[in-house]
Amino acid sequence: MKRKIYLHMKPLEETREIFMNCLDYGRMLAGERILTSESRGRILAEPVFARFSSPNFHAAAMDGIALLADDTFGTTVDHPKQFRIGKQAFWINTGQPLPEGTNAVIMVEQINMIEEDLAEIQAAAFPWQHVRKMGEDLVATEMLLPRGHRITAYDLGALIAGGVFEIRVFQKPKVILIPTGSELVEWQEVADGSLPPGKVPEFNTMILSGLVQECGGEPFRWPIIRDKKELIQEALTRAVASDCQMVIINAGSSSGSEDYSLTAIESLGEILVHGVTIMPGKPTILGIIQGKPVIGNPGYPVSATISFEQFARPVLFKMQGILAPERKRVSVFPARSFPSKLGQEEFLRVNLGRVGEKIIANPLPRGAGTITSLTRADGIIRIPANSEGINLEEPVQAELLREESVLSRTVVIVGSHDNTLDLLGNFLTNQHPQFRLTSSNVGSTGGLMALKRGIAHLAGSHLLDPETGGYNITYIRRLIPDVPVKGVNLVLRQQGLILGRGNPKKIAGLEDLTRKDLTFINRQAGSGTRILLDFRLKELGLDAALIRGYEEEEFTHMAVAVAVLSGRADVGLGIYAAARALDLDFIPVVQEEYDLVIPEKFFGDEKIQALLSVIRSADFQEAVRALGGYDLSLTGKIVF
């Protein structure tokens, strides 16, 4: 079958305007009456007016005695007045109605009891003193809330106080989600842990269902539809004939020959847009059938999410008579330059943390299929279509996905990767819930340069000095001589060759890396592991140019291990913990020192001291030992 081509790709803003303006929102959702007690989060379809005043009587605002203020005039310390309880004055508690003929309350603390029923005061009261007057809060018939207001927990109290026990709200927009793809399986079918090769548990509609609910909608997820034209068209026909207000076909947009959503939408209605100049999310299809919006949503999870947020989200809110809430934006500084493709607006997911006076943005993996970039993201930087990227040191705007206050309580680690960092972040949050940790894997050298630029609180480093055999100090003196630092050891760890299970290629050591039947997977330039490899190759007199795969780079030890596990490479250099985690073979090469390099100006910071207390804790160290391949004899100690 001929592959589809995006002939009419449109910019984001133009696409959204087309989609938003093609619908008759006034006829999409009817109103319904519901109990006020069940209305939190719903959108009012009409204004609400109070039936009762609140309070609907004059009420005491203090405990004490109620009396007529006029009777107290002239009272002073030198000329106190006395009042007979039950005749001129009346005991009253906060919230009780004032007795007839009274208009003020004297607080109990200001009353001197002469006899059991005789009270003396030494100061005059003014009319309505310590009294909540009738209608002070609400007056019957006044408007409490306008049409289009989203009901909050506070509103529930105001509505009940005003005698409004039922309200008319917009119906929740119903959204039918249709997952498509012959490679997909229901997650329940693989709950026992067995996943056949070539099969993927369908999870995109789980994400989309949650997003629909966050928009005030009601998702209806249909069973998986296989990649057959007639099945997809039949499902779409049934969906638009239902009482839903929107249909989303997931994995129903691309230029692939097996994606039939475009022709299905086209045969039943009108295609408005096929292809948007955004990344991820380019293949989005927007159409309309029988007055209902239909979205062909890309199959990669990041693409699917961004497509939903840019097109489905604003429409769902507008159906309910309100604009989609805007995320807060803050000025951030990129940790490094971010190149981008000219002609497409890119949505870059980033980790954020405040270092000194700046909020620093570290990019997360940019692939459209990396769902972890969604779970870990603190914000989104939008790189304009007319830009080739973001330059270092230039502040840019980021949309926040978390509360801004979190950023000041974040420990930012930049540098070499180690498996213990994820453990460290988890233990930090468990032992000190106010703090969290984010890490960016740029290699040991990159970590030290981040400290030089002031964009990290600490760096993970394991740089070997071949001349002295020591770690890190030589590089610190050379690369960041003007940054006073302390070094705290995190672990001593085993570096070695990670091999396939059973060592099928019979690799004996580094000497075998130049064999023509082997494919190697390397770490990035500047990483401590790469420096170690190059040093040992030089020692052995081996030419790196003869190693097949030497130029292929990964940024973490786990990525190296996965490359070996998947068969993409036969061997890689990494830590034992990564090999053990994936049940791979391992040949030790060296035990090395992995230190945390901390600028002295941050060392006394509360969150850094909390991190060090975690490192020195017995629970954390026990968890590290369980990973295997670590020596903790120096862990937590200041080593320089």
Instruction: Verify that 162 and 244 share a domain, yes or no.
Output: no
Question: Residue 373 maps to which CATH number?
Answer: 2.40.340.10
Q: Within a domain: residue 213?
A: yes
Per-residue pLDDT reduced to its tens digit, 545-588: 999 999 999 999 999 999 999 999 999 999 999 999 999 999 99
Q: Within a domain: residue 409?
A: no
Instruction: Verify that 35 and 71 share a domain, yes or no.
Output: no
Q: Within a domain: residue 246?
A: yes
Instruction: Verify that 358 and 471 share a domain, yes or no.
Output: no
Ramachandran angles phi, psi of 613, nearest 5°: -65, -35
Beta-carbon contacts of residue 101 (< 8 Å; ≥ 6 apart): 68
State the total domains in the chain: 5
Per-residue pLDDT reduced to its tens digit, 355-412: 999 999 998 888 777 888 888 999 999 999 999 888 877 899 999 999 999 999 999 9
| Local confidence band at 6 (pLDDT 50, 70, 90 cut-offs) | low
Instruction: Identify the domain boundary among 348, 373, 402.
Output: 402
Q: What is the pLDDT at residue 542?
A: 96
| Local confidence band at 1 (pLDDT 50, 70, 90 cut-offs) | very low
Question: Residue 48 maps to which CATH number?
Answer: 3.90.105.10
Instruction: Verify that 493 and 616 share a domain, yes or no.
Output: yes
Q: What is the DSSP string of 275-344?
A: -BSEES-TT-EEEEETTEEEEEE-SSHHHHHHHIIIIIHHHHHHHTTSPPPPPPEEEEEESS-EE--TTS
Instruction: Verify that 482 and 621 share a domain, yes or no.
Output: yes
Instruction: Verify that 479 and 392 share a domain, yes or no.
Output: no
Instruction: Verify that 578 and 437 share a domain, yes or no.
Output: yes
Q: Within a domain: residue 412?
A: no
Q: Within a domain: residue 639?
A: no
Q: What angle do CA 373, 202, 441 make, to 5 degrees?
A: 20
Could you give the C-alpha distances from 597 to 244, 290, 460, 519, 546, in angstroms and in order? Answer: 57, 63, 6, 34, 35
Could you give the C-alpha distances from 255 to 5, 7, 261, 262, 293, in angstroms and in order? Answer: 6, 11, 11, 10, 21
Q: Within a domain: residue 324?
A: no
Compute the average pLDDT of residues 525-535.
92
Statement: residue 457 has pLDDT above 60: yes
Instruction: Verify that 473 and 522 share a domain, yes or no.
Output: yes
Beta-carbon contacts of residue 474 (< 8 Å; ≥ 6 apart): 463, 465, 467, 468
Compute the average pLDDT of residues 210-238.
95
Q: Within a domain: residue 411?
A: no
Instruction: Verify that 99 and 142 share a domain, yes or no.
Output: no
Instruction: Identify the domain boundary among 402, 431, 452.
Output: 402
Q: What is the pLDDT at residue 3?
A: 44
Q: What is the pLDDT at residue 2?
A: 43
Statement: residue 205 has pLDDT above 70: yes
Instruction: Identify the domain boundary among 292, 319, 346.
Output: 319
Instruction: Verify that 527 and 602 share a domain, yes or no.
Output: yes
Among 27-31, 59-63, 124-128, 297-301, which stretch is predicted with the lowest mean pLDDT?
A: 27-31
Per-residue pLDDT reduced to its tens digit, 10-57: 999 999 999 999 888 877 888 999 999 999 999 999 999 999 998 989
Statement: residue 119 has pLDDT above 90: yes
Per-residue pLDDT reduced to its tens digit, 238-294: 999 999 999 999 985 444 445 688 889 999 999 999 999 999 999 999 999 999 999
Q: What is the pLDDT at residue 238?
A: 97
Q: What angle do CA 313, 320, 213 make, to 5 degrees?
A: 50
User: In whole numbers, what is the pLDDT of the chain averaged over residues?
Assistant: 93
Question: Residue 260 maps to which CATH number?
Answer: 3.40.980.10
Q: Is the pTM of this model over 0.85?
A: no
Statement: residue 508 has pLDDT above 80: yes
Instruction: Verify that 192 and 314 share a domain, yes or no.
Output: yes
Q: What is the pLDDT at residue 257?
A: 40
Compute the average pLDDT of residues 425-443.
94
Q: The domain containing residue 456 runs over which residues?
A: 420-631
Question: Residue 82 maps to which CATH number?
Answer: 2.170.190.11
Compute the average pLDDT of residues 107-117.
94
Per-residue pLDDT reduced to its tens digit, 124-159: 999 999 999 998 888 999 999 999 999 999 999 999
Q: Within a domain: residue 637?
A: no
Instruction: Verify that 560 and 427 share a domain, yes or no.
Output: yes
Question: Residue 560 maps to which CATH number?
Answer: 3.40.190.290
